[in-house]
Amino acid sequence: MTASRAAQNPAVPPYLAGLCDDAALFPPGSAPVVAAVQAHRVHRAAWYADLVGPFLLGPDTIAETGAAAGDTPLDVVLVVRAGPAALAGALADLAAWPALRPVGVELGPDGDGTPAEAAARGAAALDRLLPPGAGGVLEVRRGPGLEAALDAVAATPYRAKYRTGGLTAADFPRPPSWPASSPGARAAAWPSNAPRGCTRRSGTPTRRPASPTTASSTC
């Protein structure tokens, strides 16, 4: 989705182009794959199509999504929460379905070392494995060292993702943990989630010199 397309549709201002990634497969919606793919096609043909970003999927739903997509191309963002060790296998599975076109990867952190060290390992994995033309997002671990992790991501071509919620109380950060003082955070635009039915903002990845930080809930 591009700003030029949105400019042709007065109902969607250019600055809102691709705002809402389709995370229908993830909680709280957890839609069935076939229904989610069909609904995504409807969204992409609707008057608000320029607002709709790519279809998000995890490694466990690649095969079912590929079968549901058939021969019709589907732009997808692969969400690999298990960390760098799981990335190569997930991308290999995705490559088996030519209709699934990877436009981005969201990579979760591993549990070793500091959050900054985990972010560096995630960036190195994306450097090696990110499909050509795709963008990368690195989820940063919460807790001590978070601001250093954000600064580490800010020095890469990738965007940072900060998880702001989930299905349990423990998934929600306390206000003091919101990272607002680091250079990486101060330089970031902080787009928020925009739940709206089966779509919501979860950080459409794009390659860019700066590294804005995206807040996300459950996907």
Cβ–Cβ under 8 Å, residues 146 and 177: yes
The neighbour count for residue 35, using CB atoms within 10 Å, is 13
Cβ–Cβ under 8 Å, residues 74 and 37: yes
Share of the chain above pLDDT 70, in %: 75
* Predicted pLDDT of residue 70: 97
Pairing of strands 100-107, 20-22: unpaired
Pairing of strands 213-216, 52-57: unpaired
CA nearest 214: which of 126, 130, 135, 137? 137
111: buried, middle or exposed (CB in 10 Å: 19+, 13-18, 0-12)? exposed
* Predicted pLDDT of residue 201: 35
CA 212 – CA 204 distance, rounded (Å): 11
Residue type (1 letter), 21: D
Q: Which two tokens stand for residue 168?
A: 């349990």
Lowest model confidence (mean pLDDT) among 6-15, 61-70, 86-95: 6-15
* Predicted pLDDT of residue 213: 45
Please give the model's pTM, rounded to 2 decimal places. 0.79
Provide the CB-side half-sphere exposure for 105 (13 A, CA).
30
CATH for 149: 3.20.20
Q: Model confidence over 38-82: pLDDT tens digits?
A: 999 999 999 999 999 999 999 999 999 999 999 999 999 999 999
Cβ–Cβ under 8 Å, residues 191 and 17: no
DSSP H or E run through 211: none
CA 218 – CA 202 distance, rounded (Å): 9
What is the residue range of 198's domain?
Answer: 3-216
Q: Is the model more confident about 119 or about 171?
A: 119
CA 195 – CA 159 distance, rounded (Å): 21
* Predicted pLDDT of residue 214: 52
Quote the number of domains for the chain. 1
